[in-house]
Structure 1
Amino acid sequence: MTTPQQFRSDGHGSMARVGVALCHGFTGSPVSMLGWSTYLADQGFAVNTPLLAGHGTSWQELSHTPWEHWYRDFEAAYLELSARCESVFVAGLSMGGALALRVAAHHPVAGIALVNPGLTFDDKRAKYSGVLKHVLKSVPAIGDDIKAPGITEGAYTRTPVAAVHQLSALFNDTLSLLPRVTAPTLVFRSSVDHVVPESSLDAIRARLGSSELDVVPLSNSYHVATMDNDAELIFASSNEFFRRHAGAI
């Protein structure tokens, strides 16, 4: 069943035994993952792309949503697939990458595909968000960092500072769990990203417990690369990665 707020597919053919749970980013929605989700479903994979708590409504609601609820919703998507598939992969964009890594630290995922995963901040004010949230409700939006013209991910028009404080807690928690992540990992990294700093990838390289980490550079996309000029590269490369590690090649 598919709605504007989520994407689900039961899969078809021999690949229906393989599931992929995909996660959108902070202040965004499954809109940013729709092209990727649809592509994988067309390839036969079982797909579940949920809408995270506090998203797809208003930034005010997000400001009252703890990060554990974001994780709960994505973990539920993984568990729904694992109940009916032989192997399940996790994938995520930006904050969705952090949530995918956290699921992989707690569950036996078959592999991980990340697009510009976020684990650190570029804005130094983020470390003070726990204090700032009491005097500053929101800041300008971080959405639509897309190089291709005329494309929007439909993210919130404002970023709630209280939610940034929650995001910081999620990042810190996930960073501590990276040594427990042992599944094969594929990272797509834009050469120009105005949202997530290079230090996020540096942290993955330094702390990830997996013996297989491949990084694919994206030369013609900004942060929301799943909707940008390199989207087809992401789709095709992840398809090959999932098939290979599911023993379908």
Structure 2
Amino acid sequence: MRHNLVMPPSAPDRGTDQTAPLMIAARPELTGGRRIGVLLSHGFTGSPASMRPWGEHLGALGYGVAVPLLPGHGTTWQQLNTHRWADWYAELARAFDALRAEHDAVVVGGLSMGGALVLRLAADRADQVAGVMVVNPAVATRRLDVRLLPVLKHLVPSFPAIANDIKKPGIDEHGYTRTPLKAIHSLLQAWPSLRADLPRITAPLIYFRSAEDHVVDDASEPLVLDGIASTDVTRIALPESYHVATLDNDAPTIFAESAAFVERVTSA
């Protein structure tokens, strides 16, 4: 099954499909005897490939890591166009429940739409989420073309791709070559209720933000940072990365800061 987390730890296999779900078993002997889980979510039209190095870094420190493949991803953009926000959230919630069943504490993290998904999860499971990590999360936009999606989705099936917004040369996010409009419109439809529920988030939050992002504009950041109820909020600037910062020049900063964050918020 997709959420089987009892597999023995092993060295990452670079020959495997980078878009496949990532699962790493916890090693409590490295984390003070406690089993700590980390759930990471990729973004819209992306895949676990964008989160794999981050997950592997945390797994090497002894954390149990799950990076699910969201429905409609890792196949074709046409297939993604048949799925909606509720499908992606349900998959993430199932992965979270699997981690919670096997770990003493769970921290959640996400990139872009994945950031929105884990914020939704943190609002819905405020008493279960130990901490939240978001990288360029999307909960709003000022882009006119996106605001016209309710009309455009009936006229054209897709837009040009939003994948691979990466400053570092030669890096591939393994995302789609087109952006399906019906699917992304469902993301926008989920934003108002998410923004309204941000005050329900009380868990510590670390917010990573790229200096230059060609996918998510600056509308989301103040809404998240000012909207949540948590008093434990840290913002980390990523000066040398574009949108997919988890694969970009500042990835080591994300890895190091998130590892310290997970250790701190899950201390017994």
User: Which residue does 1:8 correspond to in 2?
Assistant: 23
- For the residue of structure 2 that corresponds to 1:159, the secondary structure is strand
User: Which residue does 2:74 correspond to in 1?
Assistant: 56
Give me the whole-angstrom Cα distance separating, in 1, the residues matched to 2:225 and 2:74. Answer: 32
The aligned amino acid for 1:204 is: V
Give me the whole-angstrom Cα distance separating, in 2, the residues matched to 1:22 and 1:109. Answer: 13
After superposition, what is the alpha-carbon deviation per residue over 1:185-214, rounded to whole angstroms, capped at 9, x for unaligned?
000101111111111111112211111111
- For the residue of structure 2 that corresponds to 1:183, the secondary structure is coil
User: After the TM superposition, which parts of structure 1 deviate over 6 Å for at least 4 consecutive aligned residues?
Assistant: none
Matched, 1:182 2:202: yes
Give me the whole-angstrom Cα distance separating, in 1, the residues matched to 2:168 and 2:55. Answer: 20
User: Which residue does 2:4 correspond to in 1?
Assistant: none
Aligned length: 248
Give me the whole-angstrom Cα distance separating, in 2, the residues matched to 1:22 and 1:29. Answer: 11
- Determine what percentage of the aligned residue pairs are the same residue: 45
Instruction: Write out aligned runs for 1:89-238 (5 A).
Output: 89-107=107-125, 108-238=128-258
Residue pair 1:122, 1:196 contacting (<8 A) in 2 also: no
Residue pair 2:28, 2:36 contacting (<8 A) in 1 also: no
Shift of 1:171: 2.0
The aligned amino acid for 2:87 is: H
User: Which residue does 1:79 correspond to in 2?
Assistant: 97
User: Which residue does 2:59 correspond to in 1?
Assistant: 41
Give me the whole-angstrom Cα distance separating, in 2, the residues matched to 1:63 and 1:138. Answer: 9
Q: 1:150 to 1:22 in 2, by over 3 A?
A: same
Shift of 1:20: 0.3
Give me the whole-angstrom Cα distance separating, in 1, the residues matched to 2:70 and 2:196. Answer: 22
User: Which residue does 1:29 correspond to in 2?
Assistant: 47
Shift of 1:121: 2.1
| Aligned-CA RMSD value | 1.3
Residue pair 1:116, 1:188 contacting (<8 A) in 2 also: yes
Shift of 1:122: 3.9
Unaligned runs of 5+ in 1: none
Shift of 1:128: 2.3
Shift of 1:168: 0.3
The aligned amino acid for 2:122 is: A
Shift of 1:176: 1.6
After the TM superposition, which of the residue ranges 83-92 and 200-209 deviates more from structure 2? Answer: 200-209
The aligned amino acid for 1:245 is: V
User: TM-score under structure 2 normalisation?
Assistant: 0.89
Shift of 1:163: 1.3
After the TM superposition, which of the residue ranges 78-87 and 1-10 deviates more from structure 2? Answer: 1-10
User: Which residue does 1:65 correspond to in 2?
Assistant: 83
User: TM-score under structure 1 normalisation?
Assistant: 0.96
Shift of 1:75: 1.0
- For the residue of structure 1 that corresponds to 2:257, the secondary structure is helix
Shift of 1:173: 2.5
User: Which residue does 2:3 correspond to in 1?
Assistant: none
Unaligned runs of 5+ in 2: 1-6
Give me the whole-angstrom Cα distance separating, in 2, the residues matched to 1:138 and 1:24. Answer: 20
